[in-house]
Amino acid sequence: MNFCTSIVSREFCAILYHPQTWAHCRRLQRSLRGLSAGVTLDTDPRDKPRLRAVDLAEKVQKEKLKTHVDPTPVSALQQRVTELKQFTRQLQNVHPNVMAKHLHRSVLYQDKDLVIINKPYGITVRDDSTTNSMSISSVLPILCKMMDGMKVKTDSLLLPCLGLEKEVTGVLLLAQSVKAAEHITYLHRHNQVQRKYWAVVVGKPVPAEGVIDIPIIEREVTRPQPHYKMSLSPLFRMNNGGDGLTKMRAHRQAEPAVTKYKVLDSNSGCSLVELEPLTDVKHQLRVHMAFALACPILGDHKYSHWSKLAPQKLPERVLKKLKLEQSKSRNLPLHLHARELTVQQTPEINLTCPLPKYFFQTVGLLHLTFTDEKHK
């Protein structure tokens, strides 16, 4: 009898202490409690089916959006600042395929020798050995494949002929062969390739139309933050009496720089200016506007000050029109756009490039208008 009792006790304990048995007991206990309280508990929350990979990915994405979304602006001024910040962030970490697709959509002209695209803001034309940032040259092989219908093997070639600065937007000329690139270089040296730029400048140039013929040289700024800038190297200066000019000796390292300019409209403390460089010197347009006419280009934080590196300081009237605070002016992009391109060959190429969105918005906020219908 004792032997049988021990066997039953051992088997009963094994069943009683089994994990599944305890789980069923707990569920039964919760169900009884729910019935006594007038509530039906059908299932245990821990018995819910596991999340699928798709559901988990959506959950993680929603949490990321909650942590990265900026708070809703409470004023029009903060809204403007938020838009500029978002514009700056979207230029970073762009995949080469995405950039190539964007350039493919921005093709303005194409023939058997040349391709003309609308260069976006913030992208260098050629590779920079000092940085690992993406350039237009680095994605041109992908662009070639897209233009050839994504063929596995393609003999197409695209070479940048005339460069644009990183912060400058507008027409960019690409050659489809080495011979075509050499031909464009020849035309450019003989002034048969003309480019006209549009710029929003702070102030009103006086006179409203003219030619700036002042050489440019690179100098070191020895201040608490030593750096290099392009500056003017004039050939004349005012004499001691202030009633005439005295010719100065030309600096050996200075490069001739000539710029034609014309004011298209002025309003709200700013002007819309058409610029045509007759020479090709580094930062020529920016230096001539800032130091020769004392009207720096809007968003030009480098040449708005000579002795320091700081965000551009704007008049209160301009800040009010742009709906900005001075402390947020560092977010302003450079408002310099390569608007027109003319290539004097047979047949002649003459095209106009549309303004980027931020440029167009600024022109609207400043109430600047165009007199020529083709510029609208």
Q: How confident is the model at residue 39 (pLDDT cuts 50, 70, 90)?
A: very low
Per-residue pLDDT band for 285 (boundaries 50, 70, 90) equals very high
What pairs with residue 292 in β-bridges? none
The average pLDDT across 163-173 equals 94
Decide which of 272 and 8 is more confident: 272
- Per-residue pLDDT tens over the stretch 102-135: 999 999 999 999 999 999 998 899 887 666 678 8
What's the whole-number mean pLDDT along residues 347-365?
93
Average pLDDT for residues 167-172, to the nearest whole number? 96
Q: Kindly state the average pLDDT of the residues 360-375.
A: 79
Provide the pLDDT for residue 373: 43
Q: What is the pLDDT of residue 118?
A: 96
Q: What's the whole-number mean pLDDT along residues 256-280?
A: 96
pLDDT of residue 171: 97
Lowest mean pLDDT among 68-77, 118-127, 264-273, 348-357: 68-77
State the average pLDDT for the chain: 81
Give the 3-state secondary structure of residue 206.
coil
- In tens, the pLDDT along 200-246 reads 999 999 999 999 999 999 998 887 778 889 999 988 777 777 677 77
The CA dihedral of 297, 302, 308, 312, to the nearest 10 degrees, is 40
pLDDT above 90 (res 353): yes
Average confidence (pLDDT) over 351-371: 92
**How many CB atoms neighbour CB 266 within 10 A?**
17
* pLDDT confidence of residue 90: 62
Is pLDDT of 21 > 90? no
* Cα–Cα distance measured from residue 151 to residue 192, given in angstroms and rounded to the nearest whole number: 35
Reported for 283-288, long-range contacts at CB under 8 A and 24+ positions apart, including other chains, are: 283/165, 283/216, 283/230, 284/216, 284/230, 284/257, 284/259, 285/197, 285/199, 285/259, 285/336, 286/230, 286/336, 287/216, 287/230, 287/231, 287/232, 287/257, 288/212, 288/214, 288/216, 288/257, 288/259, 288/261
**Residue 211: its pLDDT value, please?**
97
State yes or no: pLDDT of 11 exceeds 60. Answer: no
**Residue 25 has what pLDDT?**
61
Query: Is residue 263 a contact partner of residue 270, using CB atoms and an 8 Å limit?
Result: no
- 154-158, 293-297, 349-353: range with lowest mean pLDDT: 154-158
Q: For residue 15, what pLDDT band results from cuts at 50, 70 and 90?
A: very low
- Say what the pLDDT of residue 76 is: 60
Rounded to whole angstroms, how far apart are CA atoms 69 and 110?
A: 41
Domains of the chain, earliest start first: 92-190 (3.30.2350.10), 193-376 (3.30.2350.10)
Share of the chain above pLDDT 70, in %: 73
* pTM of the full structure: 0.74
Structure tokens at 339: 């608007």
Cβ atoms 356, 169 nearer than 8 A = yes
Pick the range with the lowest mean pLDDT from 78-87, 317-326, 354-363. Answer: 78-87
Residue 268 has pLDDT above 70, yes or no: yes
User: For 52-90, how does the pLDDT look when each residue is reduced to its tens digit (9 = 90+)?
Assistant: 766 777 777 777 666 554 555 545 656 666 666 665 566
Highest mean pLDDT among 11-15, 17-21, 22-26, 259-263 belongs to 259-263
